Each structure stands twice: as structure tokens, then as C-alpha cells.
Amino acid sequence: MRRLTSVTCLLALAALALLGGCGEPQFSDAEKKTIASMALSTLPSLKPDTTNRYADAPAAAALGSTLFFDVGMSRDGTVSCSTCHKIDRQFQDDLPQAVGVGHTNRRTMPLAGVARNPWFFWDGRRDSLWAQALTPLENPLEQAGNRAAFAHYIEKRFGERYERIFGPLPNLSTVPANASPLGTDAEKAAWNVMAAAQQDDVNRVYANIGKAIAAFERSIEPQQTRFDRFAIDLATGAKPEGDAAFSPEEILGLKLFIGKANCVTCHNGPRFTDNAFHNTGVPPVEGLPPDRGRVDAAAQVEADPFNCLGKFRDGDDSACRELRFMVKDGPQIMRAYKTPSLRGAADRPPYMHAGQFSTLEEVVAHYSKAPPSVEGVSEVHPLDLSDRERAALVAFLKTLSD
């Protein structure tokens, strides 16, 4: 009789082990599908940018790379794109807020996969990579230049290279040394007395500077990580070997990421971003100017003469649907910021749009606690993750950097 009891117990244990998944199968089919959708191998090839006809021209990319690293592309000759977008630091600068000619109010964004964004900057105040590249050039806190000075500089330093790509430079001999609709009072005054055709000539050279820099930046793409090797093995049913094998903690973190912690809701796809804007209750930084995020940026991108609907776009306006159908106002874009990619994030603290959090642990703790937003409404709800769960999420995030 004792034997019957023990046989029953054994049977029960075996059935539970089989059905409960105590053995090898660690992920459900739904989880496997989600994990596969985040693997770098599912990233489609980069689509052509019809708004920039030089986007895939090697000579434009070469000139763009020269300009990207050239400190001559600034008011005082000390700042280039690469000052903040450091080539050996994932094209970011490790600072809570970028420092160019002055101290800005936003965290420098890394550039891997940047050409795939529909919107640029944390708040999406530009709608193309080439229009984005023009913005720091004239921002008094970044490169602090002005478009007339840039046009003269291009003619003097790179005239021949420019003309081989973009055709003849306009006659700039009567263009003031410094003039811009966005500059100092003197620069604005100088701009306003220029003939419309001359303003157009300068704007055209200026737009082409952006198009060359964008052509270069298109080559900066995300790299395969441990997570991607793990995901490929999981999808093909191979046993992950070596560094592709995940520790139990990393597996727990991945399960939380795509499950209970809801991270994958916004950090989805192979770039771990939905390319959209969300208020997640990230607190403002004391001492910085008021920052309302997307709600102000929508008006800025609409007013930008270099936006997709402006006259400096190449190709037809079918490329402008993001701008055409963007959400322009409403409570949901108050203090909303773009979902950043998480690839490489573990190696580039601090985090958030103004470097509010100095570690991934702080970031995860923020989302677990989900404090209300100072303005607008946070979309995040408290998760009350345990210490072990928060540590597991951080461990998983690190697999996106190795």
C-alpha cells in the first residue's frame, strides 16, 4: 500500500514538472515571439530618405563626416557635432546635459540607428536627420554659429568638394559675414535686409550642410549584442552557448521586461523604441529652464522652414506623412519625451532627457514607483517590483550592451 501512495506522488510530481515547465522550456510561445521581434536580425534595411537626395551619396557622406568632426563649424572654433556626439562613446558625452559653447538643458542622444527615427531630439522638434543637423549649428548654447557665416566657411574651406556634390555655390560676395533669422539682434537685422533670393541661396547651402552630415550619420547603426545572440538561439531552438547563454537572473529580467514590468510596451521592436512620445513622470531638474517636452516641440517643427513640407525637401511630399498627421496639442503630449532605444544604454549613464538618473537601478526604481508627473499625466503605473526583480531587469538591460 505504501508503494501505491509513493507511486501516486511520483506520478503527480512528474506531471507537474512536465506541465509546469520546471525543465528546459523557459519561455511561452507568446514570449518567444516577443523576444524574436526584438532581435537585431529583424531590423529591416535602412529605407532611402527621399527628402535628401544625397542621403546615400558617398561623397556627401564623406563631406558630412568632415563637417561632423570640424570645430570650425562653430562660432568660436571650439565645438563640432563630435564634441557632444563622441565617436568612442556611442556618439554621446556621458554628461547629464550637453555642453557646447554654453550649457544646454538636455542629455546628448547617442546616434546608433538615428536615421531610422521619424522624429529627432528628445521632444521631436525636427522631422528629418538633415533638418536636425542644422539646429545645433545655430543654437547659441551648442555650436552658436549663423547660417551666413557657415555658407562663407563652406565656400572658403570646402568649396570644391561642395560643388562636386551639390553643384555650383551661389554668389555669396554680398552676403553679410554674419546673418541669420535666429541669431543675435545684429545677425537678425543683417538677415532681414538681405533680398529674399539671397536668403534663399544661403538657406540652400545651409540645408545642404545638413544633408551631407545626415548622409554621414546614416552609416551609424546598432551592433549585435549578447541579447541578439541569445534571441537567435532561442528562435532557432539551438542551445545558447558561451556568452549567448543567459544567467537565471538575466532570464528573469527578460521575462519581466516583456511581461509584468511592461517595459516592452514602449521599448518594442529591434531598436527597443516605439518612436513615440510619452510622459513617464520623470521629474524636472532644478535650475534648468521650464521644459514641457513634446507639446512645445510640435509647434517648433511645424514652424521650421527646413521641415518636410518646406521648400528645401527633395522628392515629393508623400514622405511628409509623419509631420502631416502629427498630434499637435492635447494633454497627452505635455512633458512627453521620445522613448529612447535601450541598446547600449547600460554603458551610457546618466539617463533621461536631462540626465535625471545616474544609474539604471535608479531608472528601474523610478518606473517601479511611478510617481505622478509635475505637469500633464504620467502614463506609467506603479509596479512595486521586489529588490530581486529590479536587479534582474538591470541584469537583462546589460545584455543589450555586451
Partner 1 sequence: MASIWRYILAGLGLAALLVGIVAVVYLRLPHSVSGPDLSRSKKTSNGLFVASFEPERGVVRQGELQSWLLTLKTAAGAPVEGAAITVSGGMPQHDHGLPTSPQATDYLGEGRYRIDGVKFTMGGWWQLHFAISAAAGSDTVVFNIVL
Per CB under 8 A, residues contacting partner 1 are 1-2, 4-5, 8-9, 11-12, 15-16, 19-20, 264-266, 268-269, 274-278, 321-322, 324-328, 330, 332, 377, 379
CB of 261 to partner 1, least distance (A): 14
Omega cis (within 30) before 350 = yes
CB of 379 to partner 1, least distance (A): 6
Nearer to partner 1, 135 or 280 (CB): 280
CB of 123 to partner 1, least distance (A): 14
DSSP string for 339-367 = ----TTGGGS-SBSTT--BSSHHHHHHHH
Nearer to partner 1, 11 or 186 (CB): 11
CB of 274 to partner 1, least distance (A): 4
Distances (CA, A) of 287 to 273, 283, 284, 386: 29, 12, 9, 33
- Distance between CA atoms of residues 341 and 236, nearest Å: 25
Nearer to partner 1, 251 or 377 (CB): 377
Q: Which of 178, 188, 93, 186 is nearest to 142 (CA)?
A: 93
CB of 173 to partner 1, least distance (A): 45
CB of 21 to partner 1, least distance (A): 10
Cell numbers at residue 29, please? 510561445
DSSP one-letter code for 127: S
Nearer to partner 1, 37 or 401 (CB): 37
- How many Cβ atoms are within 10 Å of 116's Cβ, its own excluded? 20
Nearer to partner 1, 29 or 387 (CB): 29
CB of 347 to partner 1, least distance (A): 26
Distances (CA, A) of 400 to 100, 253, 270: 29, 12, 11
- Distance between CA atoms of residues 281 and 380, nearest Å: 7
Nearer to partner 1, 56 or 379 (CB): 379
Per-position b or e across 26-48, b if 16+ CB within 10 A of its CB? bbeeeebebbbebbbeebeeeee
Cell numbers at residue 321, please? 506623412
- Distance between CA atoms of residues 390 and 232, nearest Å: 25
Nearer to partner 1, 183 or 376 (CB): 376
Nearer to partner 1, 117 or 178 (CB): 117
CB of 1 to partner 1, least distance (A): 5
Q: Which of 198, 199, 177 is nearest to 186 (CA)?
A: 177
